[in-house]
Chains A and B, each alone.
Chain A
Amino acid sequence: MKKYAGGIAALVVALGLSSFSTRHETKRGQDLYPYYFSFDGNSVGEESDSTNYTWLPDGPTVECDPGTLHCVINADKNASGFPILRSGGMNVFTEVSSKEQQ
């Protein structure tokens, strides 16, 4: 049993870390499904076509704090996507502002 100790410890740590990070991301995304966009620092780029996320009629709007990379996306009230902005290959912390469709 002793010779498996390191490996078993690694498995337990991996399970703990992955479940923690998954729970953290789900909580951050308000139980919405993942959804990916590109972001050049000012505007939202390509949309994913595999979820039914919808934008406000005026189009996607994003407000970001360049210091914290915390962004708010203005989206449809019925949005079911978890928007993740990626800038330079990095995930940018995002949240949905669920406004009524105008």
Chain B
Amino acid sequence: MKLNKAITNEIICVLLILLYSYTAFSKSLRYESFVNVLERSPLIGKGAATAGWLLPTVEFSVALLLLFPGTRRYGLYISATLLLLFTGYLIYMVLFAATLPCSCGGVISNMTWKQHIFFNLFFIIINIAAIRSYRHIAIRPSRKPV
């Protein structure tokens, strides 16, 4: 049972690493386009240049935190916070923004904003599941041979 949880946790972390590193690499490779789109966002606007390098840096840092078992717990908490913030931003934009610029790369750019919200909700759910199972694994004392 504990082994199953550990494997599930590992799979979720790999999926999150894939998500964060993919978006970080995509934004870095298309930096100019990314900043261009951020400039048009009503919530970011003038902070686009800073957000342009800060977001991929944070995303890549989270991927690295998730990579190493010693820092994975922090990575999961930061990842859940980022996903919640980003989903809140998407919901705000869908409800209140007049125009919807998209800076997503590759496959994600083919999604509508509403599909993107559901995509994020999926990752939030598995992220929270990983935090819960990680806490469970960490709290349960391991049996020592007598």
Contacts and interface: CB of A to CB of B under 8 A. Distances in A.
Number of contact residues on B: which range applies? 35 or more
Contacts of A17: 22, 106-107
Interface stretch (A32-40, A58-66, A70-78): A32-40
A91 B36 contact: no
Q: Which label, helix, strand, loop or mixed, suits the secondary structure of the B interface?
A: helix
A39 to B, nearest CB: 12
A18 B29 contact: yes
A10 B17 CA distance: 6
Given A33-B36, A36-B40, A50-B36, A89 B26 contact: no
B114 A48 contact: no
Nearest to A29: B33
A24 B127 CA distance: 31
B122 interface: no
Interface stretch (B60-68, B80-88, B134-142): B60-68
Contact of A6 (B13, B26, B100): B13
A21 B13 contact: no
Interface of B: 10-11, 13-15, 17-18, 21-22, 24-26, 29-30, 32-33, 36-37, 39-40, 63, 66-69, 99-102, 105-107, 109-115
7 contacts: A6-B11, A10-B17, A14-B22, A14-B63, A17-B22, A33-B36, A89-B102
Interface of A: 3-4, 6-11, 13-15, 17-22, 25, 33-36, 38, 46, 48, 50-51, 82, 86, 88-91
